Structures are given as structure tokens and as C-alpha cells.
Amino acid sequence: MAGPYTPASAGLRMRPGSSSDPRRPIASALPLDNEHVHKIDQSHQRCAAFGLSRIERLDYSPLGRSDLGVVRERNQRLYAHAAPVMEMLYEQIVNSESMVLLCDATGTILHSIGDQDFLNRASKVALQPGVNWSEQAKGTNAVGTALIEESPTLVHADEHYMHANHFLTCSAAPILDPRGNILGVLDVSGDQRSYHQHTMGLVKMSARMIENHWLTDDYRNVMRLHFHSRVEFIGTLMEGILAVSQDGKLVGANRGALEQLGLSGAALRMHTISSLFGTTVAALVDRFRSPLATPLPVELSSGRQFHVYARFNWPVWHAASSGFAAEATASAAQAAGAEAGAAEAGGGGSSAGSSSGSAGGSTAAGAAPATGLASLSLGDTQFAALIDKIRRVLNRDIPILILGETGTGKELLARAIHQDSERARQPFVAVNCASIPETLIEAELFGYEEGAFTGARRKGAVGKIVQANGGTLFLDEIGDMPISLQAHLLRVLQERQVTPLGSAKSVSVDVTLVCATHRNLREMIEQKAFREDLYYRLNGLAVRLPPLRERSDLMALVERILDRESPERRLRLSPEVVRLFQGYHWPGNVRQLFNVLRTACVMASGESLITRDHLSDDFIDDARRVAQQRAASAEPVVAPVFVAPTGPAQQVAAVPMPPAAAPVEPVPPAASMPAPQMPAPVAARLPDEPAMSLEDIELRTIQQAVDAAGGNISVAAKRLGISRNTIYRKLRWRSDGR
């Protein structure tokens, strides 16, 4: 087994390139501090304890395309925030034999951008999407070690545990959500000879940018305080950002805020705006409703001084500011929902209330934007019945089990349940039992004391169950919970006591439980893969989310998603796309619909109609295949009972729709379908039409923008909202024939 890492000459102020052999991969040539050396040493010891070999293994087990697709879908919000930052970061390191990587919270690489030659080299050591780079899988490496240490980590050349990776230099920084949970890791990896000491700084700044975007998105309907001890730092990456609910509680913070205040996330949540800064929400609203307001000087009880600038959604807050005594307003519930990351829901983040112009303190509950469970019900009767059932058991300490295919919105429903419950102001903690390696799930759930097991983070950790205390614990993919842990979970749920690994002390917990799975738990019980007693403990009320192909509110969902993705313009679907959507079987359910529409919104930039040209090649291929199969088997399109969108349906589809109050009738088979009532089956048109790849569509969009701008790349870049370098790179690739 390998001995500990001891760089013989740490402190030698020498760059690798200046060594007599420039290809010699020596970490000891860098000016490394003791903390760094200790970190690598600890990591090597962990790898040795894992029994990892330093010799390259051939089997890297990358995820298959569809599994990678699922992991990417799960992390789509992270990617949406990270993608522009990755582009920007890449522009800083382009042509330096490097790549930018985004990994999820388990270390699986989701996306990469890089110099093509280097991407090829990297793929030889499986540094590519779909491969897991946790320490357990790949030994000491920046991504895996940053995840364990929960801090930015450089791993250079022979600091990598495995010999095959010695040609790399990697700088990685974890990306945290406003509650301090790890969302993923951003990494720059390159040839060790191209090491540059500024790379780590760039990666850290970029991770901070992603975190700040995430926070702003989560709390877009909540007051945000931007502060710094130096007024000129407000608005920069160094600023602290705090999210404040209407009753003055501090519900979220960025890394800059915690660092400046010297508080942990948990300690911060014990404060209110008055106990921390000695001011009130009402005073801040009064001061900052003027766009000309200057930052407010405040002093902490410790004597430290800061300058604070408040941002908030003015009409909503104005309405609320005249009645702060009424704390439990819809917006306060929204704040709590946002704390739980509910912004992803779309409904919760709606700004409809703010555009209603109802100033003057008269915003009644009825006028507030729909949030929580109400926001999910769009007219489908199955769905409405399900929501009704859930409402009846809300706040009754009855665990809810959500069943449904992947992408049907199980997590969204769980968040809405929390948001509508009396616990809305308390934490919502989600644990995905399928995405945490089996060896770590116990520690993740129950927590552990310092040094409880090999591979533990240095300082021990509070488990997710304790984190959820007072609030809601959402166990997603509960069917993937290892059987060996199910008894432990059952005990905790029954006794309401958690004992962290390696500890003798139990902690009392009070959580409402919501679980979800796409698996058939009853079958699993028969196969002895799931404990029957646990099943009954989790299943106070089981509800099955219908797959999208069974839902009658497809068009209402489309409208909801288009409104959210493209709030500035009223996008509609062309009749052909409506037909295509209604004839499709949507195996990826709402998630797939969401992604198809999101891409279409980008592709239809500047246009008001989404046509077939704005859809991805892959989707059209699949739709064509389904249509052909149906045509061959003369199978009718099994469309659900039609329900018009709750809003103005004509904004979504260009084809006429029955009025909302029309009697609900089953849709006839495609062949006999009257054209104005329901679109014709998709088979009639699609097979003849040439398909374009997503890349082609993207290139064509860029080329059109450049042409429209008379060849002026800067103007085209501005119109498309992308950088000039991106345009040059994409067009260059095309001309290179790549």
C-alpha cells in the first residue's frame, strides 16, 4: 500500500517549466503551503485506505448516454446558472491546453468545454462527461478532494494519486447553495506544464458567480441586502448578500456574507435583520424604494461597520410594507419556499403579483400570485384530485409517498407540499437516495462525528435529518435506499432520534416526511428489496403523479413554461408543433417538455412563433419514430381529455382551441379528428421533412444574426446575448469542418 505523500522539497520556488526536464510532473516545484501539503497527504491516506491502486485501471465505467441524460436533467438548474460562467472562464484560458468542467455533488462530470486537443488527451484518462471523479473512484484529484474537503483545491501533477493523471494540473472549487449545501464543483484542468497560479483565483471567482446567480434566482421575490465594509465593493463579487423574509428573518446568504460576518449559515439563521444590523424591514423598504438611495451605514454589536444596499420587488413589498404585523402573507410563504430552492418550480417565483400594479397596501391574499399546491393544478382532473387529497392531510403529521415516472414533478410537488404547510418557514431538505454513493448515504442522512470513518470530512457533519429539523425531509428515490440502511431509517423515524455515526449522543428530531420514487415498492417488497415495515411507515398517503401523456393540461403547462422562460415576449406554438406535442408520448414527462421548450425559446430568439425549426433534432427524430410506429400499427393517438389552459389559450397555440367552459369530450382517434378542434396526427407530415441537428440550428441562428448585423460580430453578439469569442469559436469550428 502507498505511503503518505511527503513532497521532499515543498517550498522550492520553482515553476515546473523551469525544471531541467520540462515534462517532469513535479508538484514539489510549486510554492505550496503546509495546509495544502497536509490536505494532499490526508487524501493520499484516504485513497490507500480505500484500497485504490495507483496504476491506471482500464474500466472507468462512464455512464451510458441515457443515464448521463438523467444526471444532467437532475442538475439542469445548476447547469443553467453555470453555463455562461463556464464560457467566460473558458475564454480566459483558451489555447492553454486546458478545459473547464462542471461536476455534480457526487463528482460526476456533467459538462466540459476545452481545447479540442486537450479534450482528446483528457478523454484517455476518462476526464469526460459521465465519469465520476470522486476520490473513491479516481483517487486524489481536485474535484473529488474538493468535495471531501468542501473547499477550493489544487491538485498538481504527481499529487494525483493515480499515475495516469500525473500529466494534469487541476483547480476545483465547490459550488454551494445559500444554505451551504454542495451543488457541484467547477474545475479547470490542464496539462501540468501549463500551470498558472492565477487559475485557482479564476475558478474561485467563477464558483462565487454561480452561487450569487443561484441565490438571486432563489430569492428573487425576497428582499436582498448587498453589503460590504467598503462601499465601493457593493455590486462586486466580493459583496455579501443576505436574503431577508418579510418578518425580518435571514433566510439565505452567499459565501461573501458568511465570510464577512464571521458566522456559519446556522448561526446566521438565528438572527433577524434587527439583531444583526439594528434596522427593520420597514425602514429598509422606506429608504430603498427610491432608486437614488445611497447605501446605509450599519454597525454590528461587535463594532464592525458595513454599508448595506437593499433590493426588493417593489410593488409586492410596497403592498406588504403597510402591514408588517401580518407576517404570514403569501410573500412570506414564498420567501420560505425560496429558501428551500423552490424557484425551480416556476409557479412560486411568478411575479404576476408585482405587475398587477396593486399598490397602496391592498394586496389581498386572493390577488397574490399562486404559489405552492395551487400553482401546480392547471386543469387536469386527475391532478386536481391528487392535490385535493394532499390538502386534506396537510399538517396532520401524515407521511406522503409520491409515486410517478421520472420527470413528472415529484420533487416539485414535495416542495409545494412544504410551502403550503405550517412548516413553510422551516427548512426543506431534499436527499436523493439514488445519487449518493451507497457507502456515503448513511453518513449523509444521519451525520457523523469527526474522524468517524475513513473518508469523512475533517470536521464531522450534521446529517440531513437533523438539518431538516422543524421542517420537511424529502427522501427522493426512496426505492434506491440500500436495504442495509432501511432498518436504521425506520428506527430513526419511529423513535424521532438520530445518533450521528461515531457519536454516543442522540439528537431529537421533528420532521415531516415526504418520499418519492419511480419504482414499484410493492414489487420490491415481494423481491425482498424493500422492507415492508418501512413501506407502511412512509406511506401515510400515497399519490401517483400522472405521466404527461395522460394529462389533459399539456397546453396549460406549455403556457406556464413559456411565460417563465420567456417572460418578455408572448411566444406561441405553431399549429404543426401543437400537433407534434399532442401526438407525442413524452417519456421524459414534464422535464422533457420543459427542456424542449427551453431550447425552443432560445432558438426562436427574436421571433414570436415556435416552429419545427426551433426544436431539437433528437426530439423530432423520436417524434417521427413514434408517429411511424403508430401509423404502421394504425394505433390512434391516445390523447387525453382536452382542457384549455387556465389563462388565455390562444396565446399558446395558433390553432383554435375549445373555450375553457366547453363540455369535456374524449378526443376521437387521430384519423377522424376534426382539424379545428384537435390537431391532426403527427405522422402525416414529419417523415418527409429533413432533420437538422441542434448544432446546425445554433450555427444557422448565429449566421443569421451576423448577416442581419451586416457582418458586425459585436452587434450580433449583443443581440444574441453571447460573447464575441463564442461567435468566433463556433463559426471557426464550422469552417474547420468540425
Ligand X SMILES: Nc1ncnc2c1ncn2[C@@H]1O[C@H](COP(=O)(O)OP(=O)(O)OP(=O)(O)O)[C@@H](O)[C@H]1O
Which residues form the interface with ligand X (CB under 6 A)?
A: 76, 344, 346, 376, 404, 406-412, 476, 518, 557, 560-561, 590-591, 594
- Cβ 539 to ligand X shortest distance, Å: 17
Q: Which residues contact 496 (CB under 8 A, 6 or more apart)?
A: 508, 509, 510
Q: Are strands 168-176 and 182-191 parallel, antiparallel or unpaired?
A: antiparallel
Surface-to-core class of residue 365, CB atoms within 10 Å of its CB (0-12 exposed, 13-18 middle, 19+ buried): exposed
- Cβ 465 to ligand X shortest distance, Å: 20
Nearer to ligand X, 413 or 702 (CB): 413
Phi-psi region of 690 (alpha: psi -120 to 50; beta: other; left: phi over 0): beta
- Cβ 581 to ligand X shortest distance, Å: 15
At residue 441, what is the residue type? I
Nearer to ligand X, 307 or 518 (CB): 518
- Cβ 545 to ligand X shortest distance, Å: 7
Q: How many residues does the chain have?
A: 738
The CA–CA distances, whole Å, from 399 to 382, 407, 483, 539 equal 21, 21, 20, 6
Nearer to ligand X, 334 or 408 (CB): 408
- Best CA proximity match to 722, nearest among 139, 709, 615, 507: 709
Nearer to ligand X, 348 or 463 (CB): 348
Decide if 190 contacts 227 (C-beta within 8 A).
no
- Best CA proximity match to 430, nearest among 447, 412, 443: 412
- Cβ 378 to ligand X shortest distance, Å: 7
Nearer to ligand X, 154 or 561 (CB): 561
| Euclidean distance between CA atoms 445 and 429, whole angstroms | 11
| Euclidean distance between CA atoms 544 and 557, whole angstroms | 18
Decide if 443 contacts 392 (C-beta within 8 A).
no
- Cβ 476 to ligand X shortest distance, Å: 6
- Cβ 69 to ligand X shortest distance, Å: 11
- Cβ 345 to ligand X shortest distance, Å: 7
Q: Are strands 541-544 and 400-403 parallel, antiparallel or unpaired?
A: parallel
At residue 115, what is the residue type? D
Phi-psi region of 196 (alpha: psi -120 to 50; beta: other; left: phi over 0): beta
- Cβ 678 to ligand X shortest distance, Å: 23
- Best CA proximity match to 258, nearest among 246, 245, 241: 241
Nearer to ligand X, 140 or 517 (CB): 517
Decide if 601 contacts 568 (C-beta within 8 A).
no
Nearer to ligand X, 190 or 407 (CB): 407
Nearer to ligand X, 344 or 695 (CB): 344
- Cβ 254 to ligand X shortest distance, Å: 23
Nearer to ligand X, 408 or 499 (CB): 408
- Cβ 587 to ligand X shortest distance, Å: 12
Grid cell digits, residue 244: 431577508
For 243, phi then psi, to 5°, come to -100, 135
Q: Which residues contact 475 (CB under 8 A, 6 or more apart)?
A: 431, 433, 481, 513, 514, 515, 516, 538
Nearer to ligand X, 25 or 379 (CB): 379
Q: Are strands 428-432 and 461-462 parallel, antiparallel or unpaired?
A: unpaired
Nearer to ligand X, 200 or 402 (CB): 402
Helix axes 438-446, 483-495, angle to 10 degrees: 10
Q: Which residues contact 227 (CB under 8 A, 6 or more apart)?
A: 234, 239, 240, 241, 242, 257, 260, 295, 298, 306, 307, 308, 309
Nearer to ligand X, 186 or 412 (CB): 412
Nearer to ligand X, 352 or 487 (CB): 352
| Euclidean distance between CA atoms 738 and 735, whole angstroms | 8
Q: What is the CA radius of gyration of the chain?
A: 27
The CA–CA distances, whole Å, from 452 to 448, 502, 587 equal 6, 5, 43
- Cβ 361 to ligand X shortest distance, Å: 31
Handedness of CA 118, 119, 122, 124 (dihedral sign): negative
CB atoms within 10 A of CB 611: 16
Strands (DSSP E) along 202-295, which ranges?
223-228, 240-244, 250-253
Nearer to ligand X, 521 or 561 (CB): 561
- Cβ 475 to ligand X shortest distance, Å: 12
Nearer to ligand X, 181 or 280 (CB): 181
Nearer to ligand X, 190 or 547 (CB): 547
- Cβ 241 to ligand X shortest distance, Å: 24
In the complex, residue closest to ligand X by CB: 409
| Euclidean distance between CA atoms 383 and 616, whole angstroms | 29
- Cβ 427 to ligand X shortest distance, Å: 18
- Cβ 414 to ligand X shortest distance, Å: 8
Nearer to ligand X, 581 or 594 (CB): 594
Give me the torsion for CA of 142, 145, 146, 148, rounded to 10°: 170
- Cβ 217 to ligand X shortest distance, Å: 13
